[in-house]
Amino acid sequence: MAQFNPTDIETHEFDVIVIGAGGAGLRAAIESLASGASTALICKSLLGKAHTVMAEGGIAAAMGNVYPDDNWKVHFRDTMRGGKFLNNWRMAQLHAQETPDRVLELEEWGAVFDRTEDGRILQRDFGGHRFARLAHVGDRTGLEMIRTLQQRAVSLGTNVFMECTILSLLQDDSGQVVGAMGYWRETGKFVVFKAKATILATGGIGKSWKVASNSWECTGDGHALAAWAGADLIDMEFIQFHPTGMVWPPSVRGILVTEGVRGDGGTLRNSDGKRFMFNYIPEMFRAETADTEEEADRWYNDKKNARRTPDLLPRDEVARAINSEIKAGRGSPHGGAFLDIYSRRTPEYIRRRLPSMYHQFKELAGVDITAEPMEVGPTCHYAMGGVRVDPDTTATTIPGLFACGEVAGGMHGSNRLGGNSLGDLLVFGRRAGSHAAQFATSASAPKASESQISQIAKEALEPLNREGGENPFDVLHNLQDTMQDLVGIIRKESELSEALSKLDELEERRKKAAAGGNIQYNTGWHHAIDLKAQLTVSKAAAMSALARKESRGGHTRDDYPARDDEGFGKINHVFRWNDGTATLDPETLPQMPPELAELFEEGTH
Amino acid sequence: MASNDQVTVELWRGDGKEGQFVEYKVDAMEGEVVLDVVHRIQATHANDLAVRWNCKAGKCGSCSAEINGKPSLMCMTRMSTFEPGTTITISPMKTFPVIKDLVTDVSFNYEVAKKVPSLKIAPPGEDGVRRMYQKDIDRLQEYRKCIECFLCQNVCHVIRDHEENKKAFAGPRFFLRFAEMAMHPLNTEDVRTAAKDEGGIGFCNITKCCTEVCPEHIKITDNAIIPMKERVADVHYDPIRWIGRKIRGKK
């Protein structure tokens, strides 16, 4: 029987700990160290394997290298419109203002971006962005970014704790967060990190859906850790279904196909060969979207005299359109839409611009994208909602706790534009590192409670000590089916209510899950533990989705198909977790100052 | 392979001390890769089976193993490449100590990474812009495709059968980094001595095993190691520079 010996626990102490080592966590750790704080970086996988590595298209930054007319105000406007005005305006502003510097900083640290003819950083077109704005490296920008940040963090001497899963935050009597407790995946032994300031940078929640682009790590740990500690989560109903995931063969269903395919000239077609996106241009984007194929194709090279192709509408619009075409019986043979670049660009161009897409389809699907169309369909990709933070400092509603990157909410409103996540990681990762280090200078020595530590250990060991319980993999697969079927791309009241009761049943089953085998690198045990966070976060998503009786961005209600700008359009949903009881409250959205509101007055809102 | 065929897998199970191949018979569906089958074994036969993976799309380099003896990524090896009815063996990478089952201790690579020097990029030009031209960075971008799967490290015979060499040899993955710094148009840090002394690039005798297993098809030997060896030779085996070093007393 696995037992916990409190006298034998490994303990570390730092000024700042960062949980998660994707783009946001790495950037936060670099800044925290540079600010003079002793810093630890803790991650579930090996360093450099986090989900950021899969980002493809690029980093949106108004550098104006390709279109000098671009500036932060245009980027800010695009971001707010893409998010259907539910974004925290201040986060969107800071993001648009600071991304160009963050990109140049990556170059100084060794990133090698694709170049313009005159030797500057090249920028590509992407959905919802008025100008070609994404700094990129082919279609493997995330790899470039994570490797650059990883090498920078290592060269600065960051303390890295790999393959370590955090179970819970630690809090003192006042509720202040004073570190975190976790276990080593390799040995199963517990470890305590005492810290004056703690940064959550744990990424997304997509692994609770069956068809998802996310890696196994995206189990919403940070969202749940924050909620359990009493922090607010906002906007959890908004889940981005990326329009283009692979659909065939079944084993690769959901793997991402970059928006860069459309940015570089690809177009969506239905089974009749028709470019159906022209039928799905919403009123809000009509004035700036091409309405003929001729104009759309001209736009790639002439932004002044032609309007953008509807293939590059924001992701929520494109995902719903593909979903509708499939439902109307105009899908591809394996239940997707066709994505065609082969008939529009030369093989050399495709291989140079999209090398990993070429490789991925060739190796995994036996499809040559320079000679035939891809089949694509929506895949669960990104959580817009997350931990509520102060826009300038990334401080959560609990003292000592900060959050940045995908785990933080607000920046993207109801729908994130492609290219805005990598910028988000850099801008708010840096801010988190800086403000956490600053907070640590005035915080007293962290005092963790021994009874809390014992309680965390006891609960974590339960699946190992239980005889003949449920297979954790079965509970996980049932959760993924539930979220896919009932809290998916199109939602309705009856299904969301059913999801909530199923989640309660799954929570009971989780508490009976048993992991056979010993404590060392035991995947069944790891899943049994991850499920706790997944179920809390899934409940937050389902509750928030049930309460929002409108359709907006990454939340589409079959029973409330319209946007309700005067009602739900003015509120955030705040999810809280009080000793196992979940509550949801509407709160008024922060209002942007007049000088920013003016940017939206010309043309359509 | 047709849909729902049953396959026989001989999977290495064990820890750092002992272990053996265990046979599993599981279904394999159309289009699946080896990692899918390993996950099915995990979900239905052996919940505690240890295996690393993240992206399942050949981008993160986590699921390296030896499949029928060939170092490969499990996520990029399709089941249809095997003859129906044959038994597939899957074992952990040989060069690194086993932690459990298919998971090995690859910390050697992370220790080497700490010793690789950092780039020092020149400041921007007078107009505030750092300029580099695409033709000058194509080669660097090839090196930077590396996903750190460590298959090249695993297969490199300088360390595969010679544990003792690990302390003086960085390995092919890190020769890419030295080469990258040497060829970066804006880098001001000379890494040629470090490549020789800390990296041990001289140990490599160009058998190209690393290039053969690279899932990103980086021509590690031809495009990185050989040009880097030439640069090291330029500085260390040039007679005039040699005399200069003798006079100044530098290595």
What's the pLDDT tens digit per position in A143-153? 999 999 999 99
In this structure, what is the dihedral angle of CA atoms A392, A393, A394, A395, given to the nearest 10 degrees? -130
Three-state secondary structure call for residue A481: helix
d(CA A351, CA A76): 32
Q: In sequence order, what are the residues at sequence separation of 6 or more whose Cβ sits closer than 8 angstroms to the Cβ of residue A67?
A: A123, A131, A132, A303
The arithmetic mean of pLDDT across residues A463-469, rounded, is: 92
Q: Nearest CA to CA, how far is B35 from chain A (Å)?
A: 10
- Upstream peptide bond of A378 is cis (omega within 30 degrees of 0): no
Q: Is A101 on the interface with B (CB under 8 A)?
A: no
Terminal C-alpha separation, chain B: 59
Tokens of A563: 């946007």
With cut-offs at 50, 70 and 90, classify the pLDDT of residue A605. Answer: very low
List A residues 514-573 in contact with B (Cβ-Cβ < 8 A): 515-518, 520-525
Q: Nearest CA to CA, how far is B200 from chain A (Å)?
A: 20
Q: Is A393 on the interface with B (CB under 8 A)?
A: no
Compute the mean pLDDT over every residue in chain B, rounded to the nearest whole number: 93
What is the structure's pLDDT at A604? Answer: 42
Yes or no, beta carbons of B132 and A51 under 8 Å apart: no
Yes or no, beta carbons of B54 and A217 under 8 Å apart: yes
Amino acid at the residue A247:
V
Same fold for the pair A242-378 and A457-568: no
What is the structure's pLDDT at A221? Answer: 98
User: What is the residue whose two structure tokens read 């569906």?
Assistant: B29
User: For the ranges A431-440, A512-521, B109-118, B241-250, which has the lowest average pLDDT?
Assistant: B241-250
With cut-offs at 50, 70 and 90, classify the pLDDT of residue B1. Answer: very low
> What are the distances in angstroms from CA B214 to CA A471, B67, B94?
37, 15, 16
For residue B173, list chain A residues with Cβ-Cβ distance below 8 A. none
Question: Which of B13, B53, B55 to substitute to test the interface with A, most A CBs within 10 Å?
Answer: B55
- Which of A428, A533, A457, A465 is closest to A94 using CA atoms? A428
Tokens of B203: 């140990």
Yes or no, beta carbons of B147 and A53 under 8 Å apart: yes
d(CA A373, CA A331): 13
| pLDDT greater than 80 at residue A554 | yes
Instruction: Give the total residue count for chain B.
Output: 251
pLDDT in tens, A322-372: 999 999 999 999 999 999 999 999 999 999 999 999 999 999 999 999 999
d(CA B175, CA B170): 7
d(CA A225, CA A162): 19
ipTM: 0.94
Yes or no, beta carbons of A252 and B148 under 8 Å apart: no
Q: Which residues are paired to B11 by β-bridges? A: B22, B90
Three-state secondary structure call for residue A587: strand
Compute the mean pLDDT over every residue in chain A, rounded to the nearest whole number: 96
- Which of A266, A165, A171, A260 is closest to A217 using CA atoms? A165
d(CA A111, CA A36): 25
CA-based nearest residue in chain B for residue A115: B134
**φ, ψ (nearest 5 deg) of residue B132:** -140, 150
d(CA A414, CA A293): 29
What is the structure's pLDDT at A602? Answer: 62
| pLDDT greater than 80 at residue A98 | yes
* Cross-chain CB nearest to B137 (options A112, A251, A359): A112
Angle at which helix A523-547 crosses helix A221-228, to 10 degrees, equals 70
Strands A10-19 and A39-42, sheet pairing: parallel
Yes or no, beta carbons of A520 and B50 under 8 Å apart: yes
Q: Which residues are paired to A513 by β-bridges? A: A470
The arithmetic mean of pLDDT across residues A263-275, rounded, is: 97
Yes or no, beta carbons of A363 and B78 under 8 Å apart: yes
Q: Is A378 on the interface with B (CB under 8 A)?
A: no
Helices (H), ranges, A156-220: none
- Which of A424, A324, A328 is closest to A378 using CA atoms? A324
d(CA A196, CA B107): 29
pLDDT in tens, A76-87: 999 999 999 999
Handedness of CA A418, A419, A425, A427 (dihedral sign): negative
| CATH architecture type of domain A242-378 | Alpha-Beta Complex (3.90)
Tokens of A171: 């809090």
Yes or no, beta carbons of A53 and B59 under 8 Å apart: yes
Rg (CA), chain B: 22
- Which of A145, A190, A397, A360 is closest to A261 using CA atoms? A360
User: For the ranges A194-198, A601-605, B90-94, B164-168, which has the lowest average pLDDT?
Assistant: A601-605
Cβ atoms of A522 and A215 within 8 Å: the answer is no
| CATH architecture type of domain A457-568 | Up-down Bundle (1.20)
Question: Which of B11, B48, B56, B135 to substitute to test the interface with A, most A CBs within 10 Å?
Answer: B48
Residues of A designated catalytic: 242, 262
> What are the distances in angstroms from CA B93 to CA A103, B37, B52, B150?
37, 18, 12, 9
Q: Nearest CA to CA, how far is B153 from chain A (Å)?
A: 16
d(CA A299, CA B118): 42
d(CA B55, CA A356): 13
Cβ atoms of A153 and A160 within 8 Å: the answer is yes
Three-state secondary structure call for residue B246: helix
Terminal C-alpha separation, chain A: 63
For residue A364, list chain B residues with Cβ-Cβ distance below 8 A. 31, 33, 57-58, 76, 78
| pLDDT greater than 70 at residue B251 | no
Cβ atoms of A520 and A587 within 8 Å: the answer is no
Q: What is the percentage of chain B residues whose pLDDT exceeds 70?
A: 95
Strands B19-28 and A159-161, sheet pairing: unpaired
Cβ atoms of B48 and A524 within 8 Å: the answer is yes
Q: In sequence order, what are the residues at sequence separation of 6 or more whose Cβ sits closer than 8 angstroms to the Cβ of residue B8?
A: B23, B24, B25, B86, B87, B88
User: For the ranges A328-332, A409-413, A499-503, B1-5, which has the lowest average pLDDT?
Assistant: B1-5
Helix (H) or strand (E) holding A572: strand A571-578
Angle at A387 between CA A384 and CA A389, to 5 degrees: 105
d(CA A43, CA A434): 20
Cβ-Cβ contacts under 8 Å between A and B: the total is 166
d(CA A135, CA A423): 10
Q: What is the DSSP letter of A406?
A: G
| pLDDT greater than 90 at residue A467 | no
Yes or no, beta carbons of A516 and B58 under 8 Å apart: no
Q: What is the DSSP letter of B237?
A: S
Cβ atoms of A58 and A126 within 8 Å: the answer is yes
Per-domain residue ranges of chain A: 242-378, 457-568
Q: Which residues are paired to A587 by β-bridges? A: A572
| pLDDT greater than 90 at residue B235 | no
pLDDT in tens, B76-118: 999 999 998 889 999 999 999 999 999 999 999 999 999 999 9
| pLDDT greater than 70 at residue B2 | no
Angle at B13 between CA B78 and CA B152, to 5 degrees: 55
The arithmetic mean of pLDDT across residues A557-578, rounded, is: 97
Q: Nearest CA to CA, how far is B225 from chain A (Å)?
A: 20
* Cross-chain CB nearest to B103 (options A47, A112, A521): A521
CA-based nearest residue in chain B for residue A159: B114
Yes or no, beta carbons of B54 and A137 under 8 Å apart: no
| pLDDT greater than 70 at residue B72 | yes
d(CA A476, CA A527): 8
User: What is the residue whose two structure tokens read 């969107």?
Assistant: A92
Predicted TM-score (pTM) of the model is 0.96
Cβ atoms of A166 and A42 within 8 Å: the answer is yes
Three-state secondary structure call for residue B174: helix
Q: What is the percentage of chain A residues whose pLDDT exceeds 90?
A: 95
Q: In sequence order, what are the residues at sequence separation of 6 or more whose Cβ sits closer than 8 angstroms to the Cβ of residue B247?
A: none
d(CA A219, CA A480): 11
Yes or no, beta carbons of B132 and A251 under 8 Å apart: no
Question: Which of A160, A349, A521 to substitute to test the interface with B, most B CBs within 10 Å?
Answer: A521
With cut-offs at 50, 70 and 90, classify the pLDDT of residue B161. Answer: confident
Of residues B182 and B245, more confidence is placed in B182
CA-based nearest residue in chain B for residue A110: B119
Which residues of B83-149 form beta strands (DSSP E)?
A: 87-91, 98-100, 103-104
With cut-offs at 50, 70 and 90, classify the pLDDT of residue A231. Answer: very high
